[in-house]
Structure 1
């Protein structure tokens, strides 16, 4: 109820806006219909909403009057909040499997050994590491034992731990793809590592360029679905980077950020399965379940495990034992597989809706990358991103341009929009898609 009231006060829900039915909103939020109906009734009584028998609930005119009456301190401005979240890598949080997760938490808590309530093992709970070893072998082709796995607080902490461990053993530089997450480059540079870029084309990262970088001791790759360009690492390049690692003693860091979501075929197996002694694997539930769980894992070559544990001990960061035990139970009971199957079908439909809408309304817009993941890359002519940013519809969308992910030393001048299609709730997807189409030429 408070979230609705805040949305009306802030202007994100304008007077006259029709709200979803109590049944639809309850399904989106995973709560009882009576809970939504009670919240609607209270907001009607307060004057924020209007409702008549047999008609939809709408935002009342009083909302505009209240906003106009609020005073703003001179010299302060509040940036408008976007109406639709189309940022890449953000899952549909309204589809979180609350009931199954709650059952997993209850079972995990009831079965938890007394020692689990004490100080945590920096490797992570053994129950989760055992469940992950089985799941990763089956779903992603990762070959490991539970002792090879280190549980961490999401992908960001995982890469930070690896970066500091590599610096600790004498590595001075780790190559990255010329388009990628700025936060990953920051993790490397914060650890004192240089991060020269590798060009990316239709075959993925140009890993052959590593031979001309003798001081590079590692490379971060997104081989299954390059982020954000969306291409896979070509088979000969997969073999080439493993050969480079064997020849030089380098480490390949595989970020398998959305490897479960491929829509035209069975997902390509992880690079880790080719050579577990040379590849460190980074996984997380941030795309499959929710980033708020702060739960990820590293599958490490033996020579890196203790170096990472030393770093983890220094930071004293660990995921809570209950989340780990619940995740282990969720995996063992099949809930994780069921949820991924459900979301894979949902995201596939959304991607198809996006392609169909583009074909109808913006036929010159090209979609690049595999039918996979939670985002699509829409190609633009040079300077197109800057032109779109000046249009009023841009302010309604949380959408990101390709330039945000460009390495400062990248040679590529590609332009485009990186559009996430997963975050909006099912009831909001049509409006988000319409707003995006309204932005494009």
Structure 2
């Protein structure tokens, strides 16, 4: 089955060198095998096919093949064609020159934050949605299209976000992008073009987000984070700040929601200064012990840019995210994105549109909410039994929790976990460079393991705690 392509003639890039065609062809084939470009077992084109491709006589190719078989470079068997022979000590592809790479053992278990359970991706439902979407898709969907995104997806997203997240989401305000990072980079570029010099970020967060804004030419001062979320009242004293990146529904990584007074303060700051709040709603669908916290964007759609993603609800490999922008920002962001060549893949957009419209997305989110809540409960119960001195926080929503550690123990715990094949992140990993040392802790991504690997990951965690 793997060689079914051979019946149609395989392509082979080869350049005979030297004065004679046969000797030149043999030399080129030897070099390709010697360097590993043609790996052992690779099936070569038939002599007829290669002769036509090279514009030489078939007998020339057949003679070259026969001699290389005699020399041991190739093998030829009836029904199996001509293949590269297995050779003792054969070289692999030449390695790129540079410093030797350190080989790391792949972790047995992972509790890294930021990922859902990839084993739970709804393959069958996604496939059905894809078939329906492709059957109904107009021909123009497969051409160069609007970089704003397919209207089918923007339309269903507008309804879903309004219903589930309280977002004011007219389809004409939505721009589809290839992940949150892509969207943030585009907004950062437009902010700089508009003359903004600084974009505030939370004192706890992802360095990749700060780096994106920095790459756009923006400084990234921070606002402090406490048990009520970001201290947005600080924005009023930051005279050069023209934008603020916040995680209102579930602060990353501490897990606390932004207090209502601070939500109002963020919007008031944006209104009074003409600033823009960038709302990262990275896992807003997952809440357990509280009423859902609506999107900040609903308070003022002209002063808040809402960014959502399918990375946590479905899978990051889809590379599907969306921005709901103030009306005057849409065209500028699309211009920053570029022409139709930079649009997100149309087939995945159409599939997600059908997946949401059919109700499959809501069903999947509800099922995963139950799964993650069960894991959250098991985490809390197991730690209460086996490590009762450790406090767990940030557990009312999301896919991760914070486990507080005794002062001075964070790095040793992370190192011990790595030695035992457990991937973990310490809380200090997410501290802004301008922020002083905080409490020691672990950010435990309980959504990351597969269902079969969850119990083992939880047991490994308990073993490395001091």
Q: Tell me the TM-score normalized by structure 1.
A: 0.81
Q: What pairs up with 1:192-341 in 2 under 5 angstroms?
A: 192-313=217-338, 316-341=341-366
Q: Contact between 1:132 and 1:328, CA under 8 Å: does it hold in 2?
A: yes
Distance 2:107 2:184 in 1: 30
State the distance in 1 between where 2:209 and 2:162 align: 26
Q: Distance in 2 between matches of 1:410 and 1:314?
A: 40
Cα contact 1:168–1:307 (8 A) shared by 2: no
Distance 2:204 2:396 in 1: 19
- Output one character per residue of 1:376-428: Cα deviation in whole Å (capped at 9) or x when no partner: 01111222112213426654111111121111101352221101001211111
Q: CA RMSD in A?
A: 1.6
Please say if residues 394 and 439 of structure 1, whose CA atoms lie closer than 8 Å, have aligned partners that are also in contact: no
- Secondary structure of 1:81's aligned partner: coil
1:229 to partner: Cα distance = 0.5
C-alpha distance in 1 between matches for 2:210 and 2:378: 34
1:100 is aligned to 2:97: no
- Secondary structure of the equivalent of 2:189? helix
How far apart are the structure 1 equivalents of 2:366 and 2:419?
33
Question: For residues 302-327 of structure 1, what are the alpha-carbon distances to aligned partners after superposition, in whole Å with 9 as ceiling and x for unaligned?
Answer: 12111111110169532100000000
2:443 is aligned with 1:410: no
Partner residue of 1:398?
423
* Alpha-carbon distance in 1 for matches of 2:197, 2:350: 37
CA contact (8 A) 1:142 1:272 kept: yes
User: Higher Cα Rg: structure 1 or 2?
Assistant: 2
CA distance in 2, matches of 1:394, 1:176: 33
Q: CA deviation at 1:368?
A: 1.5
Counterpart pick for 1:168 among 183, 189, 193: 193
Q: What are the equivalent positions in structure 2 for 1:172-183 lying under 5 Å apart?
A: 172-183=197-208
Q: Does 1:110 align with 2:135?
A: yes
**Runs of 4+, deviation exceeding 4 Å:** none
Instruction: Give the whole-Å Cα distance in 2 for the aligned partners of 1:394 and 1:247.
Output: 52
The one of 116, 125, 128 aligned to 2:153: 128
What's 2:184 paired with? 159
Deviation at 1:113, TM superposition (A): 0.5
- Structure 1 pair 359/217, CA: closer, same or farther in 2 (3 Å)? same
Separation in 1 of the partners of 2:431 and 2:333?
28
User: Which residue in 1 is equivalent to 2:61?
Assistant: none
Q: Which runs of 5+ in 2 are unaligned?
A: 1-94
How many residues are treated as equivalent by the alignment?
Answer: 369
For 2:417 and 2:291, how far apart are their aligned partners in 1?
40
2: CA distance between counterparts of 1:232 and 1:155? 20
* SS of equivalent to 2:342: coil
Moved more, 408-417 or 424-433: 408-417
Match of 1:59 in 2: none
Rounded Cα–Cα distance in structure 1 between residues aligned with 2:437 and 2:284: 25
Secondary structure of the 1:322 match is helix
Q: Give the structure 1 partner of residue 144 of structure 2.
A: 119
The residue aligned with 1:432 is 457
- In the alignment, the residues of structure 2 paired with residue 314 and residue 121 of structure 1 have an alpha-carbon distance, to the nearest angstrom, of 8
For 1:186, which of 202, 205, 211 is the aligned residue? 211
Pick from 86, 102, 116 the counterpart of residue 91 of structure 1: 116
Distance 1:278 1:412, change over 3 A: farther
